[in-house]
Amino acid sequence: MRHPEFQPVEAAFQYCPRCGKAREEAGNPLACACGFRYFFNPAGAVGTLVSDADGRILFIRRERDPGKGKLGMPGGFIDPGESGEEAARREAYEEVGLTLGALTYLISHDNAYAYGGVAYQVTDFFYTAKVECFEGIESDASEVQDWFIARPEDVKAEDFAFESNAFAVETYVRNLVNAD
């Protein structure tokens, strides 16, 4: 996903953080004459498609930019030292108060997190999880504007904050069709 109006993350770093000299060459990696090298690798993030016994999925409307007011699913950045599964469980609990059981890996997709004028490269990893029902959801108002449950095929791709989320939902629906 490209954001032409946002600066690539490697362009946002103009000086060597070790010696303070201006970069001689733009791009990735930052390679300084002092010997310092830094590779601008993507950050890891997760999202979980949580379904109930009727096959409906929990969607959230984002309270924060990027994509404020647009749709997503419980998820977020992987913290240092965490596995993807741990991040998925933590985010689901923080955002909607859900304690997830077994997680099944679905698919990954690249993403760009456009924030403060910079487009940070991200790799999103998606999981699925099942719950009996969605009773007792308590959303965190600082992150979630509201939430709803819907059949995944009824949610439009353009309503998602991130293309990667729409791709995960499409993949999920395609797998369901193939499993029938």
The piece of 14-22, 43-51, 125-133, 146-154 that touches Zn ion (CB under 5 A) is 14-22
Q: How many residues bind Zn ion (CB under 5 A)?
A: 6
Torsion sign across C-alpha atoms 82, 84, 85, 88: positive
The piece of 16-24, 115-123, 136-144, 146-154 that touches Zn ion (CB under 5 A) is 16-24
Using rule CB under 5 A, residue 37 touches Zn ion: no
Using rule CB under 5 A, residue 77 touches Zn ion: no
Of 51, 53, 41, give the one whose Cα is nearest residue 74. 51
Using rule CB under 5 A, residue 32 touches Zn ion: yes
The piece of 5-13, 27-35, 97-105, 134-142 that touches Zn ion (CB under 5 A) is 27-35
Query: Which CB, 1 or 31, lies closer to Zn ion?
Result: 31
Length of the chain: 180
